[in-house]
Amino acid sequence: MREAETAVLIVEDEPDICWALAHILKRTGIAAVTATSGRQALRLAKRHRFHLVFLDAKLPDIDGLDLACRLREANAGIRIVLVSGYFYRDDAEVHEAIAAGIISGFISKPIEHEEVRAIAREALAP
């Protein structure tokens, strides 16, 4: 894979959400790699340097915030955006994770297309 193709990682166990995020990014000219589990995401992160991760808060094999910490250990400069229908933007846990630098931002489900595009453009700007 070329660097441009590996700039964004989507970690989402719901196939429809995974497809939607990848499709939104593709229409913006950004290719993404997808993972359906935390273990798969960690394997990909060892092989590729991602600049941006859209990360589901609740995965079947690992909690999203725990995975964010592990991804950040592998790449301190990575931008991680938590995607959740479980948490809300004003939840204390989300605020604490942002303040601690575990995540860089938050998107709630249902996903707003323009919000995804804006985050990706900002994170991948030269």
The structure's pTM equals 0.92
CATH number of 10's domain: 3.40.50.2300
| pLDDT at residue 62 tops 90 | yes
Q: How confident is the model at residue 1 (pLDDT cuts 50, 70, 90)?
A: very low
Q: What pLDDT was estimated at residue 3? A: 43
Q: What is the DSSP letter of 17?
A: H
| pLDDT at residue 7 tops 90 | no
Give the residue numbers spanning the domain of 15. 3-124
Into how many domains does the chain fold? Answer: 1
Question: Hey, is 7 helix, strand or coil?
Answer: coil
φ and ψ at 82, to 5 degrees? Answer: -75, 130
Q: What pLDDT was estimated at residue 97? A: 94
Of 4, 2, 1, the C-alpha closest to 25 is: 4
